[in-house]
Amino acid sequence: MRAELNAANIRSQKGGGAWRMEVRGFHAIIERFGEISLVSKGNMMATMMKDILTADQFVASIISVLALNGQKRFVLRDTELDEKFERAYEELVEACETLNVTPNFTFYIDPMHGDSVALRETLLAAKEKDLIALNNPTFHTFDVKLSNERATRYLQSSPIPREFLNTLVEHHFAQASAA
């Protein structure tokens, strides 16, 4: 099938975390990484729309679980924080279908420097939102500043289920906190 995309035959809207457009009797669902799926109008209702998950949401959700678990102070070696978030991200990606989410980010670790620029930017944004305090410029120590009430509010708005977040924290952050 060949469809010409122009203003006369396209209607688009954002809903449920993905873009949906109608192209002369077909719906194109643009999901993660620009993948396009064509679905006939009759099957559109059966298609699940995934929630888009941002890096800010992911990090805030993990920080919220850490806060509620009483894990408030972290002292980490060189790139340990980057490695922990990268592994947590990889576990998230493996569970995307089950969780019905699509991350719009990666925490790619630069092999030369051993850190993730995307994670650094996300942590700086978390600092600006007063979720964490960075105690040095190299991100080796940080404190979680969220109250339990605020952490609970973040988790209520997170597209990731609390049970899965608890598992991520247990797998990747349990050994990171310090007295």
- pLDDT by residue (tens digit) across 8-65? 444 444 444 444 444 444 444 444 444 444 444 444 443 357 899 999 999 999 999 9
Helix (H, G, I), strand (E, B) or coil at 19: strand
User: At 79, is the pLDDT very low, low, confident or very high (cuts 50, 70, 90)?
Assistant: confident
Burial-class residue 55 by CB neighbours within 10 Å (0-12, 13-18, 19+): buried
DSSP state of 175: T
DSSP state of 177: B
Q: What residue has token string 């980490």?
A: 76
Helix (H, G, I), strand (E, B) or coil at 115: coil
Over the chain, what is the mean pLDDT? Answer: 78
pTM comes to 0.70
Q: Nearest Cα to 27, choosing from 81, 86, 18?
A: 18
User: At 138, is the pLDDT very low, low, confident or very high (cuts 50, 70, 90)?
Assistant: low
- Are the C-beta atoms of residues 77 and 140 closer than 8 Å to each other? yes
pLDDT > 70? residue 125: yes
User: At 139, is the pLDDT very low, low, confident or very high (cuts 50, 70, 90)?
Assistant: low
